[in-house]
Every structure is written in structure tokens, then in C-alpha cells.
């Protein structure tokens, strides 16, 4: 585990620890902190930041003493912490030990599971299910014939509706390697339902999938930003170069597509290293804290840069956080053509603070800005060339702008999100505010043609 997950507890966490000690000493309902008269507008001489916790301590004592049934003190404290975090923004959270362990496993990229990537879905009749969005190659799910698009409707005999949220369902599926779990899979296209037993295994998925398309063009699909993602991406480029030179004898690698669709992010350091593979100088990402104060800047280094390799980056509504940092940096440096949909818009920085019982506070501390000082939060990255998801049932000429993730509200649609504010600074315009693109109006084909021409002009001027 990286040391950055264990910073020194801030004053809020220390206050909570202090409160726990006070409760253990038996703070009573009638207890109160002494106060003295003070001038109007000035805090009392005996003011303490912990004084406001007296209300909470009293409420807890009342519930413990008078509630009709015995209560679990720990669960009450956890519920209070969850409520406190919910008053801030959607990405500031309290995670009890079990969920904190799940987060650590995701960050490390290795865990005991069955090799499915799922999202929560809902049928027309309201029944919930887990839609399979990806299957890890050679995983238990892959070997059992689970495919993208299949639906998990039961886990160990329990309907998905029995689980409070997606995290609870994932915790149920994961477990000790070598143990078994049964899942009921629905194939919506064929109308088939089957229950399979999967043996959990250590899932250590490659961060990058390599696919050579021919004619010197390859695709590197980046699943997430875990440790060594940048190294795996560099290895993927080397593998594509080898494939382009061997077999058909096509020669040099002509271009690479980096697929960041449905990549929800991960480690910031890896995002910076990936941009640094393709940019030889300048800022990669800025983080700004309260009132827009610059807290940190990451800069590119010249060594080992793939300066001349043509790049295209695919993003969609599910591309978030670290994916948006990579796409935004390559776009601002005119180093890649960004293709797809407007990204999710998750541009906030969360710092994790571990508590003594294994639980975790994940608190928003700053916001991300692209090299051109564009705010990502609730704005997202607008592609150079917009291409919406296309329904295969109706052909490529129809519904070109259908939402790729209709079940996923974007950051700007999420209640309580941090609204974009630039602290009275002038932000550079987004790419979609081009005069020529606006003039093309609703003619989607003309808009796409104008977008391509604008990108080609930018790349030529940069080169």
C-alpha cells in the first residue's frame, strides 16, 4: 500500500478521536462545557473547537439510554460519520472497515474475485440487476462463458434487489481465493437464464490491453490507473511496434489509439506518467485548493518522450478523473485528437485519511485543472471530434448521439456536486465553443467535418 494512504490525521479526525475518549469516560445527558460572558462578536475565553461535539454526545447518550431496543454503539458512530460526510460533496465519504478494504484492493489492483466488471442496471419493471461491462481475460467468469452484456440477477441465491448498493453486491462476490460463489446469469439477447458456480481467484488484471488493427495502427485500451499502468502502456507501444514490423511487413507504427472509455480513474501519479510518455515539456496538471490557490503542478520531462507518434484518445461519459487529466493534457498540448463524448466531469481531488479501526475518511481537498487552466470539475473534457454511441440494432446512420451510459448521471447531474467556480478568474474557452462549429448548427455531418479540419489545423501548426 502506498504511504500516501496513511497521512497524519487532520484536526477533524483528532476531534473525533477526542469525542470517542469523552464518550468512554461517560459524558452524561446533563453535562455541559463551562462558558463565560464575552464581548459581543468575540468567542468565549474558554471556547473550544470540541464544544460543538457536546450536542452529538448528548444525542448519542439519549439513544443509548432510552431507545426501545439495544443499539450498536459502533454502527451509530459510523452512521453519524456517514451523515456528516454526506453534507459536503458526493465524493467525500466515510468508509467503514469493510468498504475501506474494498477501496484499497481496487487501488492495489489485485483482489480475490471472479473477474467481472459490473454496473447497476434496472429493468422496465423496476427489477435491478448487474450489467456485465467487462470480463477479465482468463478469469473464472471468462472461463465460465460470461460475456459483456450479460446480467447478474442473483448472487448466492439472493436477488440483486436485496443488496443496498453496488458496493454491497461486489463485497458479496469477492472473497477468499479458492472459495466458491454461485451467480445467476441472464442473457437478454437469447432470453436464457443459468446459474453457474465460480471459484474465486486472485484477480490481477493487466492495466492495458493491446490490439493491433493492421496498416500500422494499434489500440491500447487502458482499464484503469493502477500501479505500473504507465509502464504497461509503454510496453504496449513496444509490442505494437513489433507487430507492425513483423508478419505482414507493414513497417513502422503509424498511429495509436488510447481507449479511455469507461475508465473511471485511479492513481494520479500514473496519469501524470502516461502524459509524460508523450509530452516533453510544460505542465501536465494543476491542483488548486481553496480560493483557487495553486497547491501543486506536475510537469513533463524530456527523457523517453514519444514525441512524434500520432495519437487519438477515445473518451465517453464513463471516462472520469485520471482519464480526464490524461485527455485534457494531451488535448491542451495538441498532442492527440480527442474523440467520443463529453467526459464525466469528476475533477476533484480526494485525500484518504485512515482511522484506527481500519475505516477511512475520503475528503475532497482540491480541484484539477488542465495545462491551459481549464477546470475539469463538473465541466468534463469536450472531445475535438464528437461521436456518440450508436445502437447496433438500427445501424450506424441512426441515433448518432445516443448516450453511451444512460444509467450513469454525469457529475454535473449529481445532487450536491461541487459547482464549477473559478474564483473570479477567466477560464479559457472549451473546444466546443468554436465559432465554426457553432455555425454548423444541427448538421451533425458538417459539424464532424469542421471538427476534423480544426484538429488537423491544430496538429499541423504544432508540428
- The set of residues, in sequence order, having a beta carbon less than 8 Å from that of 225 and lying 6+ positions away, is 207, 263, 265, 266, 267, 268, 270, 271, 274, 322, 323
**Which entry of 229, 346, 348, 379 is annotated as an active-site residue?**
346
Would you say 398 and 391 are in contact if contact means Cβ atoms under 8 Å apart?
yes
Burial class of 319 by CB neighbour count within 10 A (0 to 12, 13 to 18, 19+) = buried
Measure the CA–CA gap between 315 and 222, rounded to whole angstroms: 11
Q: Is 403 a catalytic residue?
A: no
Best CA proximity match to 286, nearest among 367, 383, 381:
367
> Does the CA dihedral 89-377-166-392 come out positive or negative?
positive
Q: Is 442 a catalytic residue?
A: no
**Which entry of 89, 276, 332, 384 is annotated as an active-site residue?**
332
Q: Which three cell numbers stand for residue 136?
A: 477479465
Q: Is 204 a catalytic residue?
A: no
**Which entry of 321, 343, 348, 379 is annotated as an active-site residue?**
321
HEC letters along the chain:
CCHHHCCCCCHHHHHHHHHHHHHHCCCCCCCCCCCCCCCCCCCCCCCCCCCCHHHHHHHHHHHHHHCCCCCCHHHHHHHHHHHHHHCCCCCCEEECHHHHHHHHHHHHCCEEECCEEEEEEECCCCCEEEEEEEECCCCHHHHCCCCCCCEEEEECCEEHHHCCCHHHHHHHHCCCCCCEEEEEEEECCCCEEEEEEEECEEECCCCEEEEEEECCEEEEEECCECCCHHHHHHHHHHHHHHHHHCCCCCCCCCEEEEECCCCCCECHHHHHHHHHCCCCCCEEEEEECHHHCEEEEEECCCCCCCCCCCEEEEECCCCCCHHHHHHHHHHHCCCCEEEECCCCCCCEEEEEEECCCCCEEEEEEEEEECCCCCECCCCCCCCCEECCECCCCCCCCCCCCECCCCCCCCHHHCCCCCCCCCCCCCCCCCHHHCHHHHHCCCCHHHHHHHHHHHHHHHHHHHC
Would you say 115 and 123 are in contact if contact means Cβ atoms under 8 Å apart?
no
Which residues are catalytically annotated?
Answer: 321, 332, 346
Amino acid at each position: 500500500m502506498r504511504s500516501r494512504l496513511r497521512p497524519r490525521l487532520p484536526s477533524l479526525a483528532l476531534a473525533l478521536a477526542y469525542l470517542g475518549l469523552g464518550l468512554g469516560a461517560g459524558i452524561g445527558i446533563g453535562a455541559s462545557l463551562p462558558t463565560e460572558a464575552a464581548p459581543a462578536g468575540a468567542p468565549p475565553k474558554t471556547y473550544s473547537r470540541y464544544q460543538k461535539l457536546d450536542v452529538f454526545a448528548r444525542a448519542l447518550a439519549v439513544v443509548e439510554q432510552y431507545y426501545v431496543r439495544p443499539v450498536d454503539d459502533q454502527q451509530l458512530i459510523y452512521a453519524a460519520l456517514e451523515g456528516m460526510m454526506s453534507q459536503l460533496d458526493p465524493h467525500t465519504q466515510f468508509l467503514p472497515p469493510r468498504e475501506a478494504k474494498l477501496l484499497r484492493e481496487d487501488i492495489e489492483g489485485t483482489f480475490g474475485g471472479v473477474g467481472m466488471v459490473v454496473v447497476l442496471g434496472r429493468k422496465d419493471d423496476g427489477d435491478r440487476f448487474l450489467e456485465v461491462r467487462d470480463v477479465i481475460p482468463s478469469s473464472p467468469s471468462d472461463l465460465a462463458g460470461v460475456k459483456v452484456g450479460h446480467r447478474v440477477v442473483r448472487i448466492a441465491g439472493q436477488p440483486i434487489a436485496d443488496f443496498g448498493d453496488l458496493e454491497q453486491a461486489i463485497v458479496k462476490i469477492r472473497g477468499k481465493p479458492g472459495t466458491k460463489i454461485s451467480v445467476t446469469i441472464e442473457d437478454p439477447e437469447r432470453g436464457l437464464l443459468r446459474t453457474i458456480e465460480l471459484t474465486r481467484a486472485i484477480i490481477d488484471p493487466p492495466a492495458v490491453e493491446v490490439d493491433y488493427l493492421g496498416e500500422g495502427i494499434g489500440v491500447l485500451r487502458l482499464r484503469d490507473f493502477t500501479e505500473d499502468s504507465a509502464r504497461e502502456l509503454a510496453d504496449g507501444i513496444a509490442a505494437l511496434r513489433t507487430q507492425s514490423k513483423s508478419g505482414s511487413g507493414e513497417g513502422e507504427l503509424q498511429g495509436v489509439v488510447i481507449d479511455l472509455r469507461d475508465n473511471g480513474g485511479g492513481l494520479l501519479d500514473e496519469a501524470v506518467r502516461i502524459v509524460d510518455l508523450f509530452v516533453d515539456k510544460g505542465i501536465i496538471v494543476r491542483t488548486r485548493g481553496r480560493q483557487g490557490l495553486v497547491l501543486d503542478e506536475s510537469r513533463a520531462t524530456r527523457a523517453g518522450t514519444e514525441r512524434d507518434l500520432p495519437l487519438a484518445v477515445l473518451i465517453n461519459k464513463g471516462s472520469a478523473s485520471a482519464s480526464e487529466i490524461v485527455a485534457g493534457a494531451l488535448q491542451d498540448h495538441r498532442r492527440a485528437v480527442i474523440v467520443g463524448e463529453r467526459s464525466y466531469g469528476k475533477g476533484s481531488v480526494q485525500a484518504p485519511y485512515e482511522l484506527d479501526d481500519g475505516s477511512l475518511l475520503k475528503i475532497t481537498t482540491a480541484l484539477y485543472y488542465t495545462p491551459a487552466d481549464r477546470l475539469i470539475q463538473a465541466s468534463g473534457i469536450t472531445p475535438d471530434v464528437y461521436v456518440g454511441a450508436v445502437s447496433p440494432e438500427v445501424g450506424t446512420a441512426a441515433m448518432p448521439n445516443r448516450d453511451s451510459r444512460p444509467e450513469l448521471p454525469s457529475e454535473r447531474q449529481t445532487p450536491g456536486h461541487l459547482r464549477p467556480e473559478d474564483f473570479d478568474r477567466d477560464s479559457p474557452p472549451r473546444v466546443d465553443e468554436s465559432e465554426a462549429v457553432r455555425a454548423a448548427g444541427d448538421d451533425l455531418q458538417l459539424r464532424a467535418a469542421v471538427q476534423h479540419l480544426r484538429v488537423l489545423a491544430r496538429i499541423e501548426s504544432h508540428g
